[in-house]
């Protein structure tokens, strides 16, 4: 490599590097804000009084059906009603899923063994 081509390559590399560094903030600022999780949305709705707290739903289920809480998902019915889908294990190891109206805390359905 000749001495005369070295400064040109260094300048070219510097220009490319500068372009890359300038473009990086533009790319990150052009991305849309991340969507809030269902958990965040549910938490806000409980705080605002639009949904029954999950702790209250679990206490009601425990009083009604002995067993152990395994999992809860948040979803909605076909008509758009928000529901908790609570997976529960009974003392005899049956697994039951309760569909609970998230607004009222009322059990809408029970599925499983």
Q: Which fold has domain 38-112?
A: Nuclear Transport Factor 2; Chain: A, (3.10.450)
pLDDT of residue 12: 46
Q: Taking 50 as the threshold, does the pLDDT of residue 96 lie above it?
A: yes
Average pLDDT over residues 94-104: 96
Q: Taking 70 as the threshold, does the pLDDT of residue 101 lie above it?
A: yes
pLDDT of residue 42: 76
Q: How does pLDDT run across 76-87, given as a tens digit for each residue? A: 888 999 999 999
Domain boundaries, the chain: 1-31, 38-112
Could you give the percent of the chain with pLDDT greater than 70? Answer: 66
Q: 3-42 as b/e, with b when 16 or more CB fall inside 10 Å?
A: eeeeeeeeeeeeeeeeeeeeeeeeeeeeeeeeeeeeeeeb
User: What are 30's two structure tokens?
Assistant: 């052009």
């Amino acid at each position: 490599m000749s001495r005369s081509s070295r400064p040109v390559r260094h300048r070219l590399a510097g220009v490319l590097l500068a372009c890359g560094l300038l473009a990086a903030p533009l790319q990150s600022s052009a991305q849309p804000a991340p969507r809030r999780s269902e958990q965040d949305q549910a938490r806000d709705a409980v705080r605002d009084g639009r949904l029954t707290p999950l702790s209250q739903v679990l206490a009601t289920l425990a009083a009604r059906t002995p067993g152990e809480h395994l999992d809860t998902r948040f979803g909605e019915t076909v008509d758009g009603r928000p529901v908790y889908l609570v997976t529960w294990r009974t003392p005899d190891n049956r697994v039951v899923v309760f569909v609970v109206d998230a607004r009222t805390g009322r059990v809408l359905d029970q599925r499983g063994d």
